[in-house]
Structure 1
Amino acid sequence: MNGNASLSNAMRKWGLTQVGLADAVNVRLIDAGYEGTVGDRTVRNWVTGRTMWPHPRQREALEAVFGCTARSLGFSPPARQRRPASEVEPPVDRRNFLTASTGATAAVAVPLVGASPRVGTSDVSRLRIELDALTELDQSRGGHEALERAALAGAAEALDKQKLGATQRIRRKLFSVAAGYTSAAAWSAIDARQMSRASELLGRALYLAGLAEDADAEMRVWNSYAMLAHHRDRYAEAVDAAYAAQGTAIARRWPFFASLAHARTAVGHANLGDRQAALRSLGHAEECLDKAAGRPDPLPSWIAFYGQAELLAMTAIVRDRTGDAAGSEAASHQALAAIPQQFRRNRALVTTRLAMAQLHRRDIDQACITASTVFTLMSGHAIPGRMRSLLGDYYRDLITIAPDASTAREWGDRYRAEWSRL
């Protein structure tokens, strides 16, 4: 029995295991009002070719996950179900794939078979608008599985349309959009602490950015690589990725982008214990931001989070890692005063950093009060894996520094209660 090579290739392309694909299909089924009954055995039957034509509901869910028809995924109906060769395959009904808590919705549609093959500027603009909507959702809620799936669906559509691009210029723009969606998926995986999947996606995004000849997309990938290495505790790699970000054409051209790259470098040096290099890079970041009055307009949505507030938040990290807890606390307060209210995830992260600085100053009661507000900030939304890890770091430091303090015990009880609820 021959295996389904097309499905296997699609799974490798998007970094999906058999279990991961089963989960993704079940989410689609549940969203459509059905039970999520697909297991890894079902997927194994698809991959091996034992099941040549899945149940209609499963086919629709598969088509929604990958953004293409079941036939494109290597499936074919039994002879008695096959249509005449002249009959056109109906378009895939690509339902809205993500609905934010605010009501904002991003949707991806597969081109109609037999429609005009020309793809132009309007298609690129629509895809970019939908990518911006995902970015706004990430800034509010943080990374989560539905956001990652939505981003991968957007990348798939951009690549499908790239094959139909009217001009080479349009095709490059679609490669750029696909790189942006793939970077968004990778960032969501980082925020959820799915590090291996994030690494695979970033490699794909960097490849697409190269095809697009897009320095902005390359800068975005290297920034994410630096973050990925940071969360893997591979601090030398984080510094190397930050230097690569500094070397992109857009960072050389625009001080605003260079500032972010220098700030990432500072965090990497701080984690390596090189205080002098960290403060030097931090100084470069501040200088570049001061010069950034001529930043690009409009600013790409992925970097909209950066500015004086975010630099202060990164300064807090550098100060704390280099033994200046008082400086870290001051920078955290300044950052919280400046971070826009809609960046809920970022505000919660900085609040956790503030609690860490207060804890390292041995202000135990205030640190616990501050750390408790993180749960209030994220109320109504699951706490992303990256934030959960940071709160775990805070708790470990808390029980190390003040194991017998009543406030510490009370916060530990709250911490465990929140974890059991999430």
Structure 2
Amino acid sequence: MGANVILKARMDELGLNQNELAERLNDALAVITGRPGCIGDRTIRNLLNGTSRRPIGRTCAALERVFGCPVEELGFGAPRSTHHPQEDAMRRRTFLTSATGAATSPLVATRRAVGMSDVDRAAAALRALVESDDRQGGHAALEKDALAGRDGVLGLQSRNASERVRRALFALAAEYAAIAAWSCVDMRQLGQAQTYLNESTAYAGLSQDAPTLMRVWVTQSLLATQRQAWTEALAAAQVAHASAAARRDPFFASLGRVRVALAHSSLADGRSALRSLGVAQEMLAKSTDLERPRWAAFYGSAELDHLGAIIYSRSRRYAQAEAFAHRSVARTPPSFRRNRALATAQLALAQLRQGEIDQATATAATVFTIMGGDPLPGRMRSLIGDFHRDLFTLAPSTTYARDWADRMRTEWS
């Protein structure tokens, strides 16, 4: 006699613990018999540890209803009175479901429960979208794919699922909606981005997942900054920094704190901004290698240096901004092409504002090389536009400015 590893695997697939399985079995018995079931912890333990290899008839019926398969497929032997040929499993399953009133149509009878394998597949598709964003930035196809992913995981909510699986699906819906929002931020479609982000916030709350909630508030802060709603950006950043994810993990604490620093710099509070930046650096140094959501992979020492360059630039400390941007460009992995191009644009701006016209124009030109001919996202176009305007304000008649203007016409066309 040994543990029933098949049943345990099926429970894990549906995200059920022992108490939840007992509740689901009792609910099934109430439908089958018309009376509440009385299955408790002891029964579940016996089913799992191998003590019960041939459960009684009503327990078998409840197991088949919950898992949608014959008890033989759960590692049990059926009572002889209810034994059925293996080849008739689907027909019997359909009859059982219809006879107990669980289905109103033939399609529902064959609809299986949603499990963690469904969550894993949806998460894999989500990772592919995050990687696309890392390479290219926001674009219309990314927004469309993110919305299709959101609709897909929400559609799974209509099927039978455990509480754990439902929360995971809501977390994925929040992340898909956040990608759509982020794509619109990158494309400078800020009104649409806010609509998607409001959806993401609602789904994140339903998920009760701390990192997902953290992501929502970080994105809220970034979107408010793009809208130039400075006090709103600070408030959202402070919520992110006070979140459960930030309290538990120095990595997320650093991410929240640097958003606070950026918000202070937008409000021209340079002292508070630099103090918060220092805290963000300290917290990131304390973080350890843990498994975190794929969306968080963008953040690390390279991105912190990139954001530090922005903070120093807003404080008009351009030499420090240049140093931070240099480090960011050197540290950013090639797979994060969009972020590397953004840091390069910040580097060019810092050089230009120190009067290094020739070096600045050469640096700015590499943004197009990094992006490999892909269209620049709206946020990056805005930065390049800032560089172009400042260049022709500082040195409109130089050879460097004329060469840059020729490059701009070529790239923009």
Regarding TM over 0.5, the answer is yes
Aligned with residue 153 of structure 2, among 142, 147, 158: 158
Aligned with residue 164 of structure 2, among 156, 161, 169: 169
Aligned to 2:373: 380
Aligned to 2:25: none
How far apart are residue 113 of structure 1 and its match? Answer: 7.0
Q: Does residue 254 in structure 1 map to residue 254 in structure 2? A: no
Please say if residues 165 and 171 of structure 1, whose CA atoms lie closer than 8 Å, have aligned partners that are also in contact: no
Aligned to 1:69: none
Aligned to 2:351: 358
Gaps of 5+ in 1: 1-111
Gaps of 5+ in 2: 1-106
> Between Structure 1 and Structure 2, which shows a larger proportion of helix residues?
2
Aligned to 1:336: 329
| Alignment deviations for residues 131-180 of structure 1 (CA, whole Å, 9 cap, x no partner) | 01110111011111111111111110111101214212211111111111
How far apart are residue 365 of structure 1 and its match? Answer: 0.7
Distance 1:113 1:418 in 2: 55
4+ runs deviating over 6 angstroms: none
Aligned to 2:320: 327
Q: Name the SS for the 1:304 alignment partner.
A: helix
Q: How many residues align?
A: 307
What is the one-letter code of the residue matched to 2:329?
L
How far apart are residue 114 of structure 1 and its match? Answer: 6.0
Q: Please report the TM-score for the alignment, with normalisation by the length of structure 1.
A: 0.71
Distance 1:394 1:238 in 2: 24
Distance 1:419 1:268 in 2: 31
Aligned to 1:347: 340
Distance 1:114 1:368 in 2: 66
Distance 1:116 1:323 in 2: 62
Distance 2:398 2:110 in 1: 69
What is the one-letter code of the residue matched to 1:339?
T
The equivalences for 1:401-412 within 5 A come to: 401-412=394-405
Distance 2:120 2:302 in 1: 29
| Alignment deviations for residues 298-317 of structure 1 (CA, whole Å, 9 cap, x no partner) | 22110101001110111111
The equivalences for 1:10-409 within 5 A come to: 115-293=110-288, 295=289, 297-409=290-402
| Alignment deviations for residues 166-215 of structure 1 (CA, whole Å, 9 cap, x no partner) | 21221111111111111111111111111000000000000000011111
Distance 1:190 1:114 in 2: 43
| Alignment deviations for residues 224-250 of structure 1 (CA, whole Å, 9 cap, x no partner) | 111111112222221111111112110
Distance 1:418 1:408 in 2: 15
Distance 1:415 1:265 in 2: 34
Distance 1:279 1:230 in 2: 18
Please say if residues 251 and 258 of structure 1, whose CA atoms lie closer than 8 Å, have aligned partners that are also in contact: yes
Q: Please, which moves more after superposition, 392-401 or 362-371?
A: 392-401
Please say if residues 135 and 301 of structure 1, whose CA atoms lie closer than 8 Å, have aligned partners that are also in contact: yes
Distance 1:183 1:267 in 2: 20
Q: Please, which moves more after superposition, 232-241 or 242-251?
A: 232-241
Distance 2:394 2:159 in 1: 61
How far apart are residue 416 of structure 1 and its match? Answer: 2.3
| Alignment deviations for residues 13-48 of structure 1 (CA, whole Å, 9 cap, x no partner) | xxxxxxxxxxxxxxxxxxxxxxxxxxxxxxxxxxxx
Root-mean-square deviation (CA), in Å?
A: 1.3
Distance 1:185 1:155 in 2: 9
Please say if residues 255 and 288 of structure 1, whose CA atoms lie closer than 8 Å, have aligned partners that are also in contact: yes
Q: Please report the TM-score for the alignment, with normalisation by the length of structure 2.
A: 0.73
CA separation of 1:114/1:403 partners in 2, compared to 1, >3 Å: closer, same or farther? Answer: farther
Please say if residues 162 and 171 of structure 1, whose CA atoms lie closer than 8 Å, have aligned partners that are also in contact: yes
Please say if residues 191 and 384 of structure 1, whose CA atoms lie closer than 8 Å, have aligned partners that are also in contact: yes
How far apart are residue 271 of structure 1 and its match? Answer: 1.6
Distance 1:233 1:350 in 2: 21
Please say if residues 163 and 171 of structure 1, whose CA atoms lie closer than 8 Å, have aligned partners that are also in contact: no
What is the one-letter code of the residue matched to 1:356?
L
What is the one-letter code of the residue matched to 1:131?
L
| Alignment deviations for residues 50-78 of structure 1 (CA, whole Å, 9 cap, x no partner) | xxxxxxxxxxxxxxxxxxxxxxxxxxxxx
Distance 1:232 1:240 in 2: 14
Q: Report the identity percentage.
A: 50
Distance 2:368 2:109 in 1: 51
What is the one-letter code of the residue matched to 1:279?
L
